[in-house]
């Protein structure tokens, strides 16, 4: 039952994050859809870590280069997702209010992705790997 509650909480968090992103794009005073490019970062962020988890066995307690590289690439993707709206706002492609809404959506979405890996990333009775 704890897995169902976690899944509902994570889906609610994802919906709230996407709502902030859509508000930053579609409100009449902003009316620019350039911030939707951060959706690519949402898709790309978990990929390096998922590949590293498949390629490396977790029996060794010490860190290895593959896992460290995956964390580095994931960090670069997340920082780019936060930097893109700021660059758009500085270049006056979008307004600063839209930038704030997109950054809020980024924080919620990436915390939801992190929560997904914390809840379903372990190899216990309910795991995302069995889906």
31-84 pLDDT per residue, tens:
899 999 999 999 999 999 888 888 876 666 667 888 899 999 999 999 999 999
Note the pLDDT of residue 52. 87
For residue 22, is pLDDT > 90?
yes
What residue segments make up the domains of the chain, in order of their start? 2-130
For residue 127, is pLDDT > 60?
no
Contacting residues for 34 by C-beta, under 8 A, at least 6 apart: 25, 88, 93, 94
Note the pLDDT of residue 125. 53
71-108 pLDDT per residue, tens:
999 999 999 999 999 999 999 999 999 999 999 999 99
Residue 113 near residue 42, CB atoms below 8 Å: yes
The runs of H, that is alpha helices, within the chain are 2-26, 38-44, 47-55, 65-90, 96-120
∠ CA 17-35-44, nearest 5°, is 70
């Amino acid at each position: 039952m704890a897995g169902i509650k976690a899944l509902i909480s994570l889906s609610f968090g994802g919906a709230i994050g996407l709502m902030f992103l859509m508000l930053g794009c579609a409100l009449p005073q902003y009316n620019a859809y350039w911030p939707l490019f951060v959706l690519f970062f949402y898709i790309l962020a978990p990929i390096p870590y998922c590949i590293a988890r498949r390629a490396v066995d977790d029996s060794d307690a010490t860190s290895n280069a593959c896992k460290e590289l995956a964390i580095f690439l994931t960090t670069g993707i997340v920082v780019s997702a936060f930097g893109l709206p700021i660059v758009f706002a500085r270049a006056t492609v979008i307004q600063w209010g839209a930038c704030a809404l997109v950054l809020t959506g980024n924080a919620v979405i990436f915390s939801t992705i992190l929560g997904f890996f914390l809840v379903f990333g372990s190899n216990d009775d309910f795991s995302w790997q069995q889906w």
